[in-house]
Structure 1
Amino acid sequence: MPRVTRSHTVAHHLVQGGLTDLKLSEAAQKKDRPGLYREDGFAVRSVRAPDGTVLTVAGAYGPDWVMTKAQIRHRLEQPYIRYTVTDDAPDLADQELLVRWATAEELAARKRATAARQAPLVALLRRQQAEQDAADSGQASLF
């Protein structure tokens, strides 16, 4: 059973990430007109999962709501925030994402994927450091 995901906490993380909270009512969010708003931003509301757990739906609004939706996903899936964001849950509009706490397995998988993406850069940096150390040790013997 997932942990309760509070909408005000999700909103706080998004505001801290630089997104604008439009503070739309639940009725306004359900109109499904993301392009109506002049300013890009988000709105959150609480929903109940089938098992009774309270989860959060974050919606992207504004002229560039697709980019805002991507920013919401990116911000909330950071390792230090630890949410999982899905857009394939039933009853979600195109601009909405379901937010829940990430499981330990999901966090471990993200960590492995990040390490795999960074492996070539890490190898290059280590090789450059080894070459620099070798050059430094050769120089030190001359002085």
Structure 2
Amino acid sequence: MPRVTRAHTVAHHLVQGGLTDLKLSEATQLKDRPGLYHEDGFSVRSYHAPDGTLLTVAGAYGPDWVMTRAEIRYRLEQPYIRYTVTDDAPELGDHELLVRWATGEELRARRQAAAARQAPLVALILRQEAEQAAEDAGQSTLF
């Protein structure tokens, strides 16, 4: 069973990430009209999962709501914030994302994926450092 995810905490993380909180009411959010707003931003509301857990829905609004939705996902899935963002709840609109706390397995999988993406760069840096250390010691590589 997922942990409770509070809307004000999610909103705080998004504002800290530079997104604008439009502070729309729940009734306004349920009208599902993301493109009507002149300013890109987000709004959050509570959502009760089928198992009764209180989760949060973050909706993207504005002329470029697709990009705002991507920014919401990116910000909330940072390792130090530890949320999982999905769009698989049946009542959600295209502009909305369901936010819940990430499990340990999800966090491990993210760390492994990040390490795999960074492995070629890390290998290159280590090789360059080794070459630099050899040069500094008066040796040069043979090519």
TM-score range, shorter-chain basis? over 0.9
Task: Give the 4+ runs in structure 1 shifted more than 6 A.
Answer: none
Q: Deviations over 1:64-95 (max 9, x none)?
A: 00000000000000000000000121110000
Secondary structure at 2:60 match in 1: strand
C-alpha separation between the residues in 1 aligned to 2:138 and 2:45? 63
C-alpha separation between the residues in 2 aligned to 1:69 and 1:47? 18
Partner of 1:129: 129
> 1:22-37 residue pairs with structure 2 within 5 A?
22-37=22-37
**Unaligned ranges ≥5, structure 1:** none
C-alpha separation between the residues in 1 aligned to 2:35 and 2:110? 32
Partner AA of 2:80 in structure 1:
Y
The count of aligned residue pairs is: 139
**Unaligned ranges ≥5, structure 2:** none
Partner AA of 1:112 in structure 2:
Q
C-alpha separation between the residues in 1 aligned to 2:64 and 2:51? 34
Please report the TM-score for the alignment, with normalisation by the length of structure 1.
0.96
Q: What is the deviation of 1:12?
A: 0.1
Q: CA RMSD in A?
A: 0.7
Please report the TM-score for the alignment, with normalisation by the length of structure 2.
0.96
Partner of 1:97: 97
